[in-house]
C-alpha cells in the first residue's frame, strides 16, 4: 500500500469502546456485553465464537448439531494426543467445572456435565460451556460413537480416576480416536479490560454471521430475526393467521393464496403436502405449499409482500385511527383504580376458564409423532390455549402491579361475571364458569379477545382489548398521575393490549384445529363440574388441586407486594408450582374421574404474606380481600411458610397414612415446595 493510500485509510483506534469501564462519549451499545446472546447467527456477533476457546490451547467447533468438535490445537503446549489423533476426530464428551448453583451457599458448585449419550445436551454444548465460571476446568474428549453404546466399565473407571485425581489421561482405543482427559484453567477472554487480541483475531466474533441476509432470513423463525419477521400470516381480512409467509407463491403445485387447514407437521410446513395419509391426492383447497429454500429466497425475495397487523398485503392504505372522546374516558384516578380492580378479577377469571379449557381436551401430554395427525391437532389446540392461560397469569400480575404503583392493595378475588361498569348497556354479558373447550366455548374466547385497535364506539369497549384501550387513554390523559408512574403504567397496559391481539389469532387457530361440531369426542371434562363425594377415590387429589392453586395465589401476592420489581427467579419458582405441583395434581385428579374446580379458600382466615395479608371472610362465598400490613417485620421464612402452608399441611397428613402412593406424592410435593421457598428466601433476604 502506498504512503498516500495509508494516509487516506481509516484505521480503527477506538480502544476505549472496548474498555471494561464506562467511558464518557461511548454509548452502552459499544460494549461487548451489550450484544444480544444469540444462539444462532444474525445480530451483533455470535457468542459461540468466544466460547470456542474456553480451554487454553484448544479451539472447538460449537456450531455443529453433533456436539463440540476439536478444530485446532496449539502443538507447542505438549498435549498427549497427536496430529493423527486430531485428524481422526475428537468430540467433546464431558466438561468438569464450577457452575452456578442457587442451592449452594457460595452460589456455585463443581459439576461434571456429560454430552455423550445425551442428544439434547450435545445440541446445547455452547450454553453449558458459557456457564462455566473462572477457575479449574476439565474436559473429556473421545471418538464420535452412537449415543446408545455404553462405555466399557474398565474404561469408565479410568476416566473417573483421572477426574478424581485431576490428572491428564491418554487412553488409546483400537481403530478409533483415543479418549483424552485434560485439566487447565478456564480461558480468560479479557486482557487489560478488553477482549484479548492475542487470542481473538479481527473478524473472529462475526465470522459465523450469515451473508447475504436472505440466507439468515430463511433459517431464522418464530420472532427471532430482527425481532419482527413474520412467520405465520393471514391472507385475508379477519382470516386465520396460519399460512407460511415464506411459501412458494408460483401457484404451480398449490393454489395461491392458500386455503388449506392448519399445518401441524413441521415436515409439511417446510416441504409442503399434496397427498393424504393414504397417498391419494389432496383437493386443491387443502394442498400445502412448500417453503422457499435458500436459493429461491435469494433469487426472488422481492416477491414477498409486506405484512401489516399479521396480514400480508401488496399495499399500505393510510388510515386515521379513531379514538375515544375525552368525555368517554374515566374522569379521575378513583375511577381508573376501580376499573383496574375490576380488570384484575376478570383476568383471573379468564385465566381459570382457559386452564379448564386446556385440561378438558383429551390431548397427549407430549408432542406426538407428526404422522398422528388427529393427536397432533389436539396437542396443538390444547397447548395454544395453555399458552394464552399463562399470558393471562402475566396480565393478572401486571394489573396488580399497576394497582400497587398507585398505592392500592392488589386484587386476588376472581370475577364471577362481567359487569356493566358504565351503566350504558354496552358490555359483554358473561358468567365465568368451568366449561370444556367446545367450539362454542372457543367462540367466546375469540370474542372476548377480539382486537379493538380501531375503536368502535358501539362494540370496542365490549372486549378485553377495548377495556384496556380506554384505560390506556385515560391514564395517558390523567392530570392526577405523575409522569414517572404514568410511563410505567402505560408500558404494562400496552403489553397487555399487544398480547391480546395475539390471543385473538391463537384462538382462531384453535377453532380450526378442533373437530367440527357436533363432534365433541375429544373432550374429557364435564360442563360445570360438581364436587366429588367425600369417599370418592380421587377426593384427595381434588383437595390437593385447590390447595396448590391457593399456594400459587399466595406466592403471587408476595410478588405483588414487591411493586413492579422484576424477579425472574420468583416467576420461575411460581411456574415450578404450576408444573410440578398443580399440573401433576390435576392430571392425577382427571385420571381418577374428577375435574379441577380451582376453588378459592373455603376457610375464614387471615394470612400474613409480608407487605399484604390475605383475608378470607366467613359466609357463603368466602370473599377474599387484601390489606396492607402495618407490621412488616415478620421474617422471610415465616412469610413463605404461611404462603405454602395449605399444601404443607396436606403433605404432613399424607405422610402419616398407610398409603405408599399418597406418601410418595406428599414427598414429591414437599420437595417442590422446599425448592420454591429456597428461591424466594434467597431473593427476599437480599432485597429486604
> For residue 47, is pLDDT > 90?
no
Lowest-confidence segment of 28-37, 207-216, 473-482 by average pLDDT: 28-37
CA neighbor of 81 nearest in space, from 142, 138, 155: 142
Average pLDDT over residues 490-497: 90
Provide the CA 300 distance to its chain's centre, in angstroms.
34
| Per-residue pLDDT band at 340 (split at 50, 70, 90) | very high
pLDDT reported for residue 243: 93
d(CA 126, CA 129): 5
Contacts of 285-288 with CB under 8 Å at 24 or more apart are 285/255, 285/259, 285/260, 286/259, 286/260, 286/261, 287/253, 287/254, 287/255, 287/258, 287/260, 288/254, 288/258, 288/260, 288/263
d(CA 341, CA 213): 48
pLDDT reported for residue 620: 46
> For residue 622, is pLDDT > 60?
no
> For residue 129, is pLDDT > 50?
yes
326-513 belongs to which CATH class? mainly alpha
pLDDT reported for residue 66: 79
> For residue 598, is pLDDT > 60?
yes
| Per-residue pLDDT band at 109 (split at 50, 70, 90) | confident
| Tens of pLDDT, residues 386-432 | 999 988 888 998 999 899 899 998 888 899 998 887 777 777 888 99
Q: What is the CA radius of gyration of the chain?
A: 29
Average pLDDT over residues 368-391: 89
> For residue 272, is pLDDT > 70?
yes
pLDDT reported for residue 292: 93
Cell 376501580 found at: 338
d(CA 287, CA 310): 22
Type and span of the H or E element at 539: helix 539-560
Among 25-39, 352-366, 640-654, name the most confident range.
352-366
Average pLDDT over residues 276-303: 91
d(CA 450, CA 430): 15
Average pLDDT over residues 535-547: 91
> For residue 202, is pLDDT > 50?
yes
Average pLDDT over residues 460-475: 75
* More reliable by pLDDT, 609 or 223: 609
CB 485 within 8 A of CB 405: yes
Q: Of the CATH numbers 2.60.40, 1.10.287, 3.30.70, 1.20.1260, which one belongs to the domain with range 539-687?
A: 1.20.1260
Average pLDDT over residues 316-337: 82
| Per-residue pLDDT band at 309 (split at 50, 70, 90) | confident
pLDDT reported for residue 617: 67
| Tens of pLDDT, residues 655-676 | 888 878 778 888 888 888 888 8
| Mean pLDDT computed over every residue of the chain | 82
> For residue 248, is pLDDT > 90?
yes
| Per-residue pLDDT band at 19 (split at 50, 70, 90) | low
* More reliable by pLDDT, 564 or 402: 402
CB 218 within 8 A of CB 246: yes
d(CA 518, CA 36): 49
| Per-residue pLDDT band at 23 (split at 50, 70, 90) | low
pLDDT reported for residue 210: 65
| Per-residue pLDDT band at 363 (split at 50, 70, 90) | very high
pLDDT reported for residue 148: 57
* More reliable by pLDDT, 124 or 545: 545
> For residue 321, is pLDDT > 70?
no
Q: Give the alpha-carbon dihedral of 53, 59, 63, 69, to 10 degrees.
A: -130
Q: What is the pTM of this model?
A: 0.67
Among 31-40, 100-109, 567-576, name the most confident range.
100-109
pLDDT reported for residue 686: 60
pLDDT reported for residue 79: 95
Q: Which residues of the chain form CATH 1.20.1260.10?
A: 326-513
Percent of the chain's residues with pLDDT above 90: 36
CB atoms within 10 A of CB 318: 4
pLDDT reported for residue 223: 45
CB 427 within 8 A of CB 438: no
Amino acid at each position: 500500500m502506498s504512503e498516500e493510500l495509508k494516509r487516506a485509510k481509516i484505521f480503527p483506534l477506538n480502544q476505549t469502546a472496548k474498555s471494561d469501564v464506562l467511558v464518557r462519549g461511548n454509548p452502552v451499545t459499544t460494549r461487548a456485553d451489550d450484544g444480544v446472546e444469540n444462539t444462532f447467527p444474525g445480530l451483533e456477533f455470535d457468542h459461540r465464537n468466544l466460547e470456542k476457546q474456553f480451554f487454553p490451547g484448544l479451539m472447538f467447533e460449537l456450531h455443529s448439531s453433533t456436539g463440540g468438535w476439536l478444530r485446532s490445537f496449539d502443538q507447542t503446549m505438549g498435549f498427549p494426543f497427536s496430529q493423527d489423533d486430531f485428524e481422526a476426530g475428537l468430540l467433546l464428551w464431558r466438561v468438569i467445572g464450577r457452575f452456578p448453583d442457587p442451592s449452594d451457599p457460595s452460589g456455585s458448585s463443581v459439576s461434571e456435565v456429560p454430552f455423550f449419550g445425551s442428544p439434547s445436551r450435545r445440541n446445547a454444548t455452547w450454553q453449558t460451556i458459557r456457564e462455566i465460571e473462572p477457575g479449574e476446568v476439565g474436559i473429556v474428549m473421545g471418538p464420535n460413537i452412537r449415543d446408545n453404546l455404553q462405555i466399557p466399565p474398565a474404561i469408565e473407571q479410568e476416566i473417573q480416576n483421572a477426574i478424581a485425581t485431576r490428572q491428564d489421561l491418554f487412553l488409546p482405543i483400537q481403530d478409533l480416536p483415543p479418549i483424552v482427559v485434560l485439566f487447565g484453567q478456564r480461558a480468560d477472554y479479557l486482557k487489560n479490560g478488553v477482549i484479548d487480541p492475542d487470542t481473538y483475531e479481527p473478524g473472529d466474533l462475526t465470522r459465523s454471521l450469515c451473508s447475504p441476509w436472505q440466507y439468515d432470513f430463511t433459517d431464522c423463525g418464530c420472532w427471532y430475526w430482527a425481532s419482527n419477521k413474520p412467520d405465520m400470516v393471514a391472507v385475508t381480512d379477519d382470516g386465520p393467521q396460519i399460512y407460511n409467509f415464506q411459501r412458494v407463491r408460483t401457484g404451480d403445485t398449490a393454489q395461491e393464496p392458500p386455503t388449506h387447514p392448519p399445518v401441524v407437521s413441521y415436515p409439511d410446513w417446510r416441504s409442503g403436502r399434496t397427498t393424504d395419509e393414504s397417498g391419494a391426492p389432496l383437493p386443491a383447497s387443502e394442498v400445502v405449499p412448500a417453503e422457499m429454500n435458500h436459493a429461491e429466497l435469494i433469487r426472488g425475495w422481492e416477491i414477498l409482500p409486506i405484512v401489516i397487523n399479521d396480514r400480508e398485503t401488496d399495499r399500505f392504505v393510510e388510515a386515521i385511527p379513531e379514538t375515544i372522546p375525552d368525555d368517554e374516558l374515566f374522569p379521575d384516578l378513583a375511577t381508573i383504580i376501580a376499573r383496574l380492580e375490576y380488570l384484575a378479577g376478570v383476568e383471573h377469571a379468564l385465566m381459570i376458564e382457559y386452564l379448564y379449557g386446556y385440561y378438558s381436551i383429551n390431548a397427549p401430554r407430549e408432542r406426538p409423532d407428526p404422522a398422528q395427525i388427529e393427536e397432533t391437532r389436539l396437542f396443538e389446540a390444547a397447548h395454544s390455549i395453555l399458552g394464552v392461560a399463562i399470558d393471562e397469569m402475566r396480565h393478572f400480575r401486571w394489573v396488580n402491579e399497576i394497582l400497587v404503583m398507585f398505592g392500592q392493595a392488589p386484587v386476588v378475588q376472581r370475577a364471577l361475571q362481567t359487569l356493566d361498569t358504565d351503566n350504558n348497556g354496552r358490555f359483554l354479558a358473561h358468567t365465568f364458569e368451568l366449561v370444556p373447550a367446545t367450539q362454542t366455548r372457543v367462540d367466546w374466547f375469540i370474542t372476548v379477545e377480539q382486537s379493538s385497535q380501531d375503536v368502535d364506539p358501539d362494540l370496542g369497549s365490549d372486549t378485553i382489548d377495548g377495556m384496556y384501550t380506554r384505560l390506556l387513554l385515560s391514564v395517558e390523559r390523567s392530570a392526577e398521575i405523575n409522569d414517572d408512574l404514568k410511563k410505567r403504567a402505560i408500558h404494562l397496559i400496552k403489553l397487555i393490549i399487544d398480547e391480546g391481539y395475539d390471543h385473538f389469532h391463537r384462538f382462531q387457530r384453535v377453532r380450526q384445529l378442533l373437530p367440527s361440531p357436533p363432534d365433541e369426542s375429544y373432550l374429557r371434562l364435564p360442563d360445570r363440574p360438581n364436587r366429588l363425594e367425600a369417599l370418592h377415590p380421587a377426593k384427595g387429589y381434588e383437595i390437593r388441586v385447590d390447595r396448590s392453586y391457593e399456594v400459587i395465589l399466595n406466592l403471587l401476592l408476595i410478588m405483588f407486594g414487591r411493586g413492579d420489581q422484576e424477579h425472574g427467579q420468583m416467576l420461575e419458582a411460581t411456574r415450578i408450582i404450576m408444573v410440578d405441583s398443580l399440573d401433576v395434581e390435576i392430571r392425577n385428579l382427571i385420571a381418577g374421574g374428577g375435574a379441577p374446580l380451582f376453588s378459592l379458600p373455603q376457610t375464614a382466615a387471615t394470612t400474613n404474606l409480608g407487605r399484604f395479608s390475605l383475608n378470607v371472610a366467613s359466609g357463603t362465598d368466602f370473599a377474599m380481600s387484601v390489606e396492607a400490613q402495618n407490621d412488616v417485620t415478620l421474617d422471610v421464612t415465616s412469610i413463605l411458610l404461611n404462603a405454602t402452608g395449605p399444601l404443607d399441611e396436606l403433605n404432613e397428613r399424607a405422610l402419616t397414612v398407610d398409603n405408599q402412593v399418597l406418601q410418595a406424592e406428599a414427598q414429591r410435593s414437599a420437595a417442590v415446595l422446599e425448592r420454591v421457598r429456597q428461591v424466594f428466601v434467597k431473593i427476599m433476604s437480599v432485597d429486604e
